[in-house]
Amino acid sequence: MKYIFCDIDGTLYSPKLDDIPSSAKKAMKIARENGNRIYLCTGRGLAECQKYLGYDVDGFIFAAGALIYDSKKRIFDHPFLKSDVVKLKSMLHERNIGYVCEAMAGAYADEKGMTAIMNYFCDPSVSYEKKYANAMSNGFYPEEYAHEDDPIYKICCYSNDLNQFTKLASVLPDPYILTLTVRDPIYQNHCSEITNSYCTKSTGIKEVLKRHDAGFKDAIAIGDSANDIPMIRDCGLGIAMGNAFDDVKEIADFVTTDILDNGIWNAFRKAGVLGNDSNLDTESGD
């Protein structure tokens, strides 16, 4: 049995489809039928994963390791201090960097952050009304929806200038770090995330594995972005998507095909979790 940890954005979910490719869904189903355990290991908070909570998986690692559920039980919960959230938001306001504070009940965006989110989930040519509705359906809300008692686990930052992220990273207080997660060369809708340095996808995986008397050698990690590097590096088999950042590909054991070219299916097949007789009927990943 293998413990398989899959990132969501850029690995399972494609904004071009606004869905998970059918080949990836089929691969996950067969892998679980073969006795493997599958976890969605994402930078998204719980609220942004509402579309995936009903998926036939064994658990979730949310907010890049800060909130973990295994077999429907919450096993780890480490939100930001409220005072730290106030300080971090002030730093972002001062630098005119948009943000989304990812909490338990929702992800709350300032005006610039909401615009970035709407453009992520929809082509910029789509009407404002459709963009807004799509963002809301994915758990993203304007900042005024936030409740002070809703714990914040991660803050995503948005800018069209990558240099702003470099400057921000140099002044973040301990224990917070900044990780670039989306490079958008077309629309310059770049994203970085502020996380607690003690919580990564790798530490989250470790929490899950120890509950099952398993180790990293028993785990497979698949991702595409910089926040996937710790888990791809530490798991027994680390796989980068064909559309992954170059630095992710460099540390992976192998690189699969693009997300829209049956990337998950081909990764699972090469990892040996689909069995010998599994065939993919479709020619494309959509």
Structure tokens at 56: 């036939």
Nearest-angstrom CA–CA distance, 22 and 20: 6
Q: Residue 243: its pLDDT value, please?
A: 96
CATH number of 3-78+199-271: 3.40.50.1000
pLDDT tens, N- to C-terminus, the chain (286 residues) = 999 999 999 999 998 888 999 999 999 999 999 999 999 999 999 999 988 998 999 999 999 999 999 999 999 999 999 999 999 999 999 999 999 999 999 999 999 999 999 988 887 788 999 999 989 989 999 999 999 899 999 999 999 999 999 999 999 999 999 999 988 777 678 999 999 999 999 999 999 999 999 999 999 999 999 999 999 999 999 999 999 999 999 999 999 999 999 999 999 999 999 987 667 865 444 5
Residues of the chain with CATH 3.30.1240.10: 82-196
Q: Residue 78: its pLDDT value, please?
A: 97
Residues of the chain with CATH 3.40.50.1000: 3-78+199-271
Q: Residue 277: its pLDDT value, please?
A: 62
Report the CATH architecture of 82-196. Answer: 2-Layer Sandwich (3.30)
Nearest-angstrom CA–CA distance, 43 and 133: 22
Q: Are 254 and 221 in contact (CB under 8 A)?
A: no
